[in-house]
Structure 1
Amino acid sequence: MVQRPYGTWKSAITPRMMAGNNRLNDVQWSSDGKTLVWSERRDGKTRLVARTEGEPTRDLTDTSLKIGGGVGYGGGDFTLHGDKVYFCANNQLYAMPLGAGPAKVLTPQFGSVASPAVSADGRWVLYVHTYQNDDVLAIVDSEGKQWPQKLAQGDDFVMQPVWHPHGKYVAYIAWNAPNMPWNGTELRLLTLRDDEQSIPYVTSQKTIAGDENTAIFQPTFSPAGRFMAYISDETGYSQLYLYDPVEGTHTQLTDGDYEYGTPAWTQGLRTYAWSADGSAIYYIRNDKGFCTLWQVSISQKSNQHISDLGAYTYQQQIDVAANGKLAFIASSSQIPPRIATYDAQGGTKTVHFSMPERLPKKDLAETQLLEWPTRDGQIAYGMYAMPTSSKYSSEGKPPLIVLVHGGPTSQRYANYDADVQFFATRGYAVLQVNHRGSTGFGKAYMDMHKTNWGVYDVQDSIDAVNYLAEEGLIDKERVAIMGGSAGGFTVLQSLVDAPGFYKVGICSYGVANQFSLAMETHKFEASYNDWLLGPLPEASQLYRDRSPIYHADKIQDTMLVFQGVEDPVVPKNQSDSIVAVLERNGIPHEYHVYEGEGHGFRKPENIIDYYETIERFLLTHLIYA
């Protein structure tokens, strides 16, 4: 082993490699179960990719089509039916054969679309449509010959539309501001009439489950249409339920202090899927960030762990083929995301790698669940990774990078996190904080963020650093805090509330002014602060207290700030205002602004610059300072 100071280890994970990491968004089977289609962001652009049995992997779309749902944060990119893929691109719906043939436009170019769902007979396509901040459930014929129609309207937001196999019913999720989809939603059931001469229309509507204080997620009919499954957090954890429309009963299929759903930040999310014959449901169980795959028998109501998935500790976007084979996106802290399949006879197989995977596991950090006591006697959680290398070692205790997730209603998992590996392989300890207010630990834990944004996220991060220092695991004098968006706000608020505690702060498109955020952010989060801080004008003082810009004169620690020019969520003026104060007060800082970037960075050249800058900044101000 070569002796080198922590933070100076040479890592095979270069900034260029970080820019080359592909993102897997979704994976689904074709109707016959012979073809897998997935959505993959490569070189900053999203494509649809297909793999058919006995054939090589191929791109279905090229970069002339901007693939992706355009509602809120996106998602709900595509669906499959028959021998076609129906997808969202350039704010329109398209249909395209899985074999040869061009893509056909189904909807006119106005507004944005997401979450296409095709009726069992293949005649109609449901989708979510937004135009001038008006979100509706819409329908169009699958040939695009007729003008689309609104099927359901009147709610602020809709998501996850699904057809009943017989075509007479449609289910979807709806909610209204100031709620977010993890606070309270309703599961709606529409009865349709189809006279075969025009587009189907609604004859009746009823709410099946949910209310302002209960969040419902992912309704899905059984293959024969006898039941409908859904996720509800009524018990305090998101559990899987079965609705019997004949008896009018709701049966809870899962239990325990585990999460079976996920916060619906985007359209098209799935955490379970029906078996092909409808006798069982396969589902993902989230236990404090570690995920496992299970199945429940519908007749016996018995749950069984599928234990032969190998080393995967995270699964998402599960789908089941007509032949019973499962597909999902899988990873672990040491395994980058892959498209994987599973069946009881053949076990788990890898279909596609998101990156080359050249590094052996011994050179990748393994994250561990960390629990620590908070200052008020409660427990907070996170994922901890130690410096990892088979070539280098160091004396003393390592510096620490504290990573704060965005949202802030979100969670860090035991999945592959490229940032964690970038830092750990250079000789940094890394803590991913799941502060109080995060998801994944029950509704009561999540609800602690209500009117407390900027309190528990700040406190729990500081308490974690103190705990790790007391355990002798890190050098408390060399700690950096880093986050983007809501995590960037926590960085700024931490430097305001505890100047001198962190050596440096790295903030990407962080919230500096809560007043302007409430007035300028996109529709999806326009009322989010009503829950996180309180409604205006009643909560004006709290908005001022939790707006770092009004207290930025307290910041004394060196900062690195990143911002995209075209960010619709946290506009550039938020970062500009903080940087102006840093300049006025002579606080050492760097400010990097990327043209053509929004809420997050996609262009390879900007991602390379981002990580090169961070590496240089940490060496200068944390390691060598």
Structure 2
Amino acid sequence: MESPITAPFGQWKSPITSTLLGADDVQFETIATSNGKIYVVECRPKEQGRGCIVEYSGPEGRDVLPTKYDSRTKVHEYGGASMIAFNGQIVFTDRETQDLHQLDPSTGHVERITNTDIALRYVGTSGLADEQAKCGWVLAIEEDHSKPLASEIRNRLVAVNLQSKEIVNIASGDDFYSAAQFSPDGSKVCWTQWSHPDMPWTGARLYLAKWDNGKVTDVQLVAGVPEKESVSQPRWGPDNTLYFTCDCSGYYQLYRLNAGSSKGQRLALRGLEEVEFSQPDWRLGGCTFVSLTPTSMIASYTKDARWSFILIDLTNDTWHDLNLPVETSFNTAYILDITDTQLNTIKAASDFPMPASLVSRPEHISFPRVHDYQATSGTLPPLIVCLHGGPTSQTGTGLSTTDQYWTTRGYAVVWVNYGGSSGYGRAYRDELNGQWGILDTADAASCVSYLASTGKVDPNGVGIRGGSAGGYIVLQALCDYPNLFSGGNSLYGISNVRALCEHTHKFESHYAFALLFEPGASEAEKERIFKERSPCFKADKITAPMLLLQGDEDMVVPLGQAEEMVEMMVKVGRHPKLVVFKGEGHGFRQAKNRIDAVEEEEKWWKKSLLKL
């Protein structure tokens, strides 16, 4: 056995390259099954981020989507669920047109289903092959962008006839719709809907109705209260029992609505009353549970940022942990045989053979909120503090290629699930209301203070990075804690919260109000908060080197946010670096841009943390 090589922290040679991270790592967007075959949407950086539909009927995959198509939807801007499969057919949304298309995977033949207007966007959520009526239907969300303002965008739930191409209105009048599903027997439909100022995790409501070949009747509210309790992931069991998650207890728990009942009942899973079986629906198509038979269900839940998988006996609501070792693998699609709990790999996001000796094991830590900092001495690794976006989101403990990229070079990495993050119950999510830009930033600073006090990291070499709302925390932290951080990297982060509220897309156009303002805040109070919580107006407080990475087609946090931050910093004598990636939106998908972003960041940490 060779002796370890001695080298300074941050300068270790790693087998994880920027090309591996940026180009070779595919992303899985959607998985569906039909007629015994599995279909996966693979987003491929080497194909400019194209979403390709791949069929798996054995160990080898087969591309079934012609190369001229890109399976991606822009509904709600964040997209997701761009493909459904049923009756041996696939319905997908093409990125260029945002129309629904029908794909025959056996021949590769594609037929356009909707062909209405370039201002309309569609995403299919469920399909029904009605043999008796000799037709098929698809439930879909329609988003109308024919008017320029976010407040003028209209969403509705529709059903599309695959033969006649007729589009039938199912539900309209609310701001948003999601998760529509046909029941297995084709007699019912369910869906969720909500309106501003709610986000889907604050007050989405579940509805149920009868379905008869294009007609919906007897609509009833099942669960959910605006601004109080939220429902997500309605999903049918094979016996037409409706399951869903609801956070009315303070945690996203599993519920069932039996046929003929008007009110759902919580699954009494003893010992799991304070875990979360769902997560905020930023993207469409989330799935954390599936009914296997009328009497069994597989489900996943999160506790302390760790996802666990259980098998539930629905006859008596008992469960047992499947102890699946998925956290030690890179992002991978598996088939699980529940008879012997065997995981069989369908496709791994990367085929890089990661040596076990290089894998950094995650450790969940809790730390007190403090505001005093004391440096420690010694040769310790530089620390990269990472902040998730949202801010209503979460970072878990699964194996991350990006994290391993840094740890195998000698950096310590910590992800902060600050107040407002999901996965810890509704009360913890609500802590950020009125405190956005204060509590989350203080939590990041408190984490640094805690880690420094344990002697695990170099307090004089701390960097902070994050995307979107995480990028906002980066900018806020560099303003409010200028002596704590040695450098920052804001990826498509927010610098002006007023501009965000005035110009962001429809889905989030009311989201920031509850995060910034207490109920009943006066206009004068709102003006004060807009200025105090906008890093661009505090640029003179930043002393650490600042890197900004941004896409020029970002509709969530537009390029103007980064440009204004740079302008204000230059005015006070600072020298930030802004890198703009052409053709990229809210996140980077193209191989070259992903590689360049990683390499720009590594150069930045060498400069600001290692002082090289």
**TM-score, length-normalised on structure 2?**
0.91
Q: Does 1:218 align with 2:224?
A: no
4+ residue segments displaced more than 3 Å: 535-538
Q: Does 1:546 align with 2:540?
A: no
Post-superposition CA distance 1:531-561 (Å, at most 9, x none): 1113784622222211111111111111111
**SS of residue in 1 equivalent to 2:530:** helix
1:75 corresponds to which residue?
Answer: 80
Cα shift at 1:101: 4.0
Amino acid at match of 2:591: P
Cα shift at 1:614: 1.2
Q: Work out whether residues 120 and 163 of structure 1, in 8 Å CA contact, stay in contact via their aligned partners in 2.
A: no
Q: Does 1:603 align with 2:590?
A: yes
**SS of residue in 1 equivalent to 2:70:** coil
1:486 corresponds to which residue?
Answer: 469
1:367 corresponds to which residue?
Answer: 362
Amino acid at match of 1:157: F
User: 1:441/1:523 Cα in 2 relative to 1: closer, same or farther (>3 Å)?
Assistant: same
Cα shift at 1:189: 1.1
Q: Work out whether residues 565 and 598 of structure 1, in 8 Å CA contact, stay in contact via their aligned partners in 2.
A: yes
Q: Work out whether residues 407 and 413 of structure 2, in 8 Å CA contact, stay in contact via their aligned partners in 1.
A: yes
Task: Among all aligned residue pairs of Structure 1 and Structure 2, give the percentage whose two residues are the same amino acid.
Answer: 29
**SS of residue in 2 equivalent to 1:449:** coil
Distance in 2 (CA, whole Å) between partners of 1:115 and 1:233 is: 26
1:62 corresponds to which residue?
Answer: 66
Cα shift at 1:620: 1.8
Report 1:212-361 matches (<5 A).
212=226, 213-225=228-240, 227-253=241-267, 254=269, 255-275=272-292, 277-307=293-323, 309=324, 311-312=325-326, 332=327, 334-346=328-340, 347-361=342-356
1:207 corresponds to which residue?
Answer: 221
Post-superposition CA distance 1:132-162 (Å, at most 9, x none): 211111111123x233122110110000000
Distance in 1 (CA, whole Å) between partners of 2:483 and 2:441 is: 14
Post-superposition CA distance 1:194-230 (Å, at most 9, x none): 3xxxxx12223111100111110011122121x2100
2:148 corresponds to which residue?
Answer: none
**TM-score, length-normalised on structure 1?**
0.89
Cα shift at 1:28: 1.9
Distance in 2 (CA, whole Å) between partners of 1:305 and 1:618 is: 41
Post-superposition CA distance 1:271-321 (Å, at most 9, x none): 10111x3112211011121111112222212122223x2x21xxxxxxxxx
User: 1:80/1:584 Cα in 2 relative to 1: closer, same or farther (>3 Å)?
Assistant: same
**SS of residue in 2 equivalent to 1:370:** coil
Higher strand share: 1
| Pairing partner for 1:147 from 146, 166, 176 | 166
Report 1:400-415 matches (<5 A).
400-415=383-398
Distance in 1 (CA, whole Å) between partners of 2:411 and 2:243 is: 44
Q: Work out whether residues 582 and 589 of structure 1, in 8 Å CA contact, stay in contact via their aligned partners in 2.
A: yes
Cα shift at 1:115: 3.3
Distance in 2 (CA, whole Å) between partners of 1:3 and 1:624 is: 19
Amino acid at match of 1:114: V
Q: Work out whether residues 384 and 411 of structure 2, in 8 Å CA contact, stay in contact via their aligned partners in 1.
A: yes
**SS of residue in 1 equivalent to 2:366:** strand
Cα shift at 1:247: 3.5
Q: Does 1:115 align with 2:124?
A: yes
Cα shift at 1:509: 1.3
Post-superposition CA distance 1:508-540 (Å, at most 9, x none): 111111111111111110111111113784622
Report 1:393-472 matches (<5 A).
396-472=379-455
Distance in 2 (CA, whole Å) between partners of 1:268 and 1:536 is: 38
Q: Work out whether residues 77 and 115 of structure 1, in 8 Å CA contact, stay in contact via their aligned partners in 2.
A: yes
Deviates more, 1:451-460 or 1:298-307: 298-307
Distance in 2 (CA, whole Å) between partners of 1:483 and 1:146 is: 44
Amino acid at match of 1:38: V
1:528 corresponds to which residue?
Answer: 511
Amino acid at match of 1:273: V
Report 1:100-139 matches (<5 A).
100-110=107-117, 111-121=120-130, 123-132=136-145, 133-139=153-159
**SS of residue in 2 equivalent to 1:91:** coil
- Unpaired segments of 5 or more residues in structure 1? 195-199, 313-331, 378-394
Q: Work out whether residues 530 and 536 of structure 1, in 8 Å CA contact, stay in contact via their aligned partners in 2.
A: no
Cα shift at 1:233: 0.4
Distance in 2 (CA, whole Å) between partners of 1:452 and 1:565 is: 29
Distance in 2 (CA, whole Å) between partners of 1:120 and 1:165 is: 10
Distance in 2 (CA, whole Å) between partners of 1:536 and 1:424 is: 47
Q: Work out whether residues 171 and 188 of structure 1, in 8 Å CA contact, stay in contact via their aligned partners in 2.
A: yes
Q: Work out whether residues 92 and 101 of structure 2, in 8 Å CA contact, stay in contact via their aligned partners in 1.
A: yes
Q: Work out whether residues 120 and 166 of structure 1, in 8 Å CA contact, stay in contact via their aligned partners in 2.
A: no
| Pairing partner for 1:158 from 162, 172, 177 | 177
Amino acid at match of 1:439: S
Cα shift at 1:52: 1.0
Post-superposition CA distance 1:222-266 (Å, at most 9, x none): 2121x2100000000100001124243422114422110110001
Amino acid at match of 2:260: V
Q: Work out whether residues 190 and 207 of structure 2, in 8 Å CA contact, stay in contact via their aligned partners in 1.
A: yes
**SS of residue in 2 equivalent to 1:138:** strand
2:375 corresponds to which residue?
Answer: none
Q: Work out whether residues 18 and 418 of structure 1, in 8 Å CA contact, stay in contact via their aligned partners in 2.
A: yes
- Unpaired segments of 5 or more residues in structure 2? 146-152, 373-377
Cα shift at 1:103: 1.1
**SS of residue in 2 equivalent to 1:68:** coil
Distance in 2 (CA, whole Å) between partners of 1:193 and 1:141 is: 13
**SS of residue in 2 equivalent to 1:336:** coil
Q: Work out whether residues 190 and 202 of structure 1, in 8 Å CA contact, stay in contact via their aligned partners in 2.
A: yes
Cα shift at 1:109: 4.1
Q: Does 1:27 align with 2:35?
A: no
User: 1:245/1:543 Cα in 2 relative to 1: closer, same or farther (>3 Å)?
Assistant: farther
Distance in 2 (CA, whole Å) between partners of 1:182 and 1:159 is: 12
Post-superposition CA distance 1:369-401 (Å, at most 9, x none): 111111299xxxxxxxxxxxxxxxxx8211000
Cα shift at 1:455: 1.2
Cα shift at 1:18: 1.1
Q: Work out whether residues 91 and 109 of structure 1, in 8 Å CA contact, stay in contact via their aligned partners in 2.
A: no
Q: Work out whether residues 536 and 569 of structure 2, in 8 Å CA contact, stay in contact via their aligned partners in 1.
A: no
Distance in 1 (CA, whole Å) between partners of 2:541 and 2:371 is: 25
**SS of residue in 2 equivalent to 1:516:** helix
Amino acid at match of 2:284: Q
Amino acid at match of 1:271: T
Distance in 1 (CA, whole Å) between partners of 2:363 and 2:549 is: 29
Cα shift at 1:585: 2.4
Distance in 1 (CA, whole Å) between partners of 2:205 and 2:260 is: 20
Amino acid at match of 1:356: D
Deviates more, 1:289-298 or 1:168-177: 289-298
Q: Work out whether residues 77 and 87 of structure 1, in 8 Å CA contact, stay in contact via their aligned partners in 2.
A: yes
1:592 corresponds to which residue?
Answer: 579
